[in-house]
Structure 1
Amino acid sequence: MGEAGTSRRMRADAERSVARILDAAETVLAQDPAASLERVADVAGLTRATVHRRFASRKALLDALAERLTRRYLLGLTQARVDTAPPLVALYRVTEIVFELKLSHRFAIQLTEAITPEVRNGLGTLFARLHEAGVITASDPAWCRRVYLALLHEVHDLPADAPALADSDATDEDARRVDLQIRTVLGALNAPPAQ
């Protein structure tokens, strides 16, 4: 095997190690936000030296978790077709995707660094399109985004037996959360102007 083949294999090994570390960090930090890099290494099944070689500090690890989540947010915005799908359909799809991410990334979802300007712009585009389509009356996409994100957190944290979730016709809990999120956001952003 030539030098190029060895280099590719080493890069692939490094990428797998980084993925294992990030997966382990997500699990460990969701349970204990103050957990050490050594604990992350144990759960990843790697040596401390490997984790420290990939992430020189806890901040570097947290930055990598935020970057990984940012990429998933951006993929979700693309999958929801916020630029082209009917805006209400895109809103439902984005909301489904974000709730899926909240379940699989319980720790990283709290990292405000993951809400980058690109993510904010994608949500802004969606809310601008909802306004243009007459679905909402609120015209400031930044305000709409803030309301949406604040409600996401609250709806996500509701206990499964919360009365607010019982108001939905949806059969599964995730769908009831999506339904509550959409109904509440539309209600908050669609109020007629004060007289």
Structure 2
Amino acid sequence: MSKTAGRPLRADAERSVRAILEAAERVLAEHPGASMEQIAEAAGVTRTTVHRRFANRQALVDALAAEAASKLSEAIEDGHPDTAPPLVALHRATANVLRVKAAWGFALGPGAAQSERAARTHEEIAHRCTELLGRLQAEGVIAPDAELEWVRRVFYALIGEALHGENATGRDLAAGPDALATRIVDTLLHGAGPRTS
């Protein structure tokens, strides 16, 4: 739950914050230099309401980064990385991450600044990802001598390229997150070499 000055927000204030953050994502994705007033207008609230919730533009951007990181963490957990069969968990988590990253392109984009809270969440996500890759390694899906931190970085790079690469707006994205997740996981685990079976 969002908090202001350490206190939980009321339901109407929570809705207001959510509307502001969602509007900020939309507006900043199109115009990264947009003002608080433009964000307020897109959210359907007054500039005073935005300033009541966020002291300044940086506070708003920091909250946006933290919210997006939280959504990303939820997407990974929704893949059940501890309990689902590891390949199933990897595919689900990848498809979920693609959905979240597509919806929160500004806050999770390559050039987005991270708040301290968002940075901590991203560290936790990296740890969870490495744990899941460790499960795959234990099952023999990933080579026993593969360095899992490197594998994680390659995995992240594949997701980033799928969403932000030169051809990211082509047929791969049009096929949907599940099909793209299959392609990413297949590339991660098998590379571009010929299949032996």
Q: Which runs of 5+ in 1 are unaligned?
A: 1-7, 166-170, 191-195
Please point out which of 187, 191, 195 is paired with 2:190: 187
Give percent identity, aligned residues only.
Answer: 41
Letter in 1 for 2:154: V
Shift of the alpha carbon at 1:36?
0.9
Q: Distance in 2 between matches of 1:12 and 1:174?
A: 32
The normalised TM-score by structure 1 is: 0.80
Q: Distance in 2 between matches of 1:67 and 1:174?
A: 23
Contact 1:128/1:139, CA 8 A, preserved across alignment: no
Is the deviation greater in 151-160 or in 79-88?
Answer: 151-160
Please point out which of 134, 137, 141 is paired with 1:135: 141
Shift of the alpha carbon at 1:116?
2.0
Q: Write the mapping of 1:122-161 to structure 2, written as runs, cut at 5 A.
A: 122-137=128-143, 139-157=146-164, 158-161=168-171
Q: Write the mapping of 1:47-86 to structure 2, written as runs, cut at 5 A.
A: 47-86=46-85
Match of 1:21 in 2: 20
Shift of the alpha carbon at 1:63?
1.4
Shift of the alpha carbon at 1:185?
1.0
Shift of the alpha carbon at 1:99?
0.9
Contact 2:76/2:97, CA 8 A, preserved across alignment: no
Q: Distance in 2 between matches of 1:54 and 1:159?
A: 35
Q: Distance in 2 between matches of 1:175 and 1:133?
A: 23
Q: Distance in 2 between matches of 1:79 and 1:150?
A: 21
Aligned partner of residue 80 in structure 2, secondary structure: coil
Shift of the alpha carbon at 1:183?
1.4
Shift of the alpha carbon at 1:46?
1.0
Please report the RMSD computed on the Cα atoms of aligned residues, expressed in angstroms. 2.5
User: In the TM superposition, what whole-angstrom CA distance separates every residue of 1:86-138 from its partner, at most 9, and x where no partner exists?
Assistant: 11111100111011112211211223634522111111111111111111125
The normalised TM-score by structure 2 is: 0.80
User: In the TM superposition, what whole-angstrom CA distance separates every residue of 1:136-158 from its partner, at most 9, and x where no partner exists?
Assistant: 12533322221111110111232
Is the deviation greater in 136-145 or in 81-90?
Answer: 136-145
Contact 1:155/1:180, CA 8 A, preserved across alignment: no
Q: Distance in 2 between matches of 1:58 and 1:140?
A: 40
Q: Write the mapping of 1:27-38 to structure 2, written as runs, cut at 5 A.
A: 27-38=26-37
Letter in 2 for 1:183: D
Higher share in helix: 1
Q: Distance in 2 between matches of 1:63 and 1:141?
A: 30
Q: Distance in 1 between matches of 2:31 and 2:40?
A: 14
Shift of the alpha carbon at 1:13?
2.1
Aligned partner of residue 109 in structure 1, secondary structure: coil
Q: Which has the larger radius of gyration?
A: 1
